[in-house]
Amino acid sequence: MSKNLPPEFYSLLEEIQAVDFVIVELNLYLDTHPQDLEAIKQFNEMTLKSMELKHSFEQQFGPLMNFGRSFSGYPWSWNETPWPWQV
């Protein structure tokens, strides 16, 4: 079920979780403060940063998202563990 994961798996995943958390926070803030230009700039910067980090994670550890939001290797890599609760 769970396999031995290299330390980079955890460090890169944590980096993604940190950046994505900033994005969630900015997103909710902007939902009620739609005129805040600085926050929108930060949101767009962090979105780009998140895309870069996920690209690098997926190259090493397989797809993060389903339904065409990530590319697949061969064989079909979506089924590969670990699932989030197995990390």
Contact positions vs other proteins (CB under 8 A): 13-14, 16-17, 20-21, 24-25, 27-29, 31-33, 63-67, 69, 83-85, 87
> Cβ of residue 69: shortest distance to other proteins, in angstroms?
5
Is residue 18 within 8 A of residue 34, CB to CB? The reply is no
Cβ-in-10-Å burial (0-12, 13-18, 19+) of 48 comes to exposed
> Cβ of residue 41: shortest distance to other proteins, in angstroms?
19
Given the complex with other proteins, which of 4 and 32 has the nearer CB atom? Answer: 32
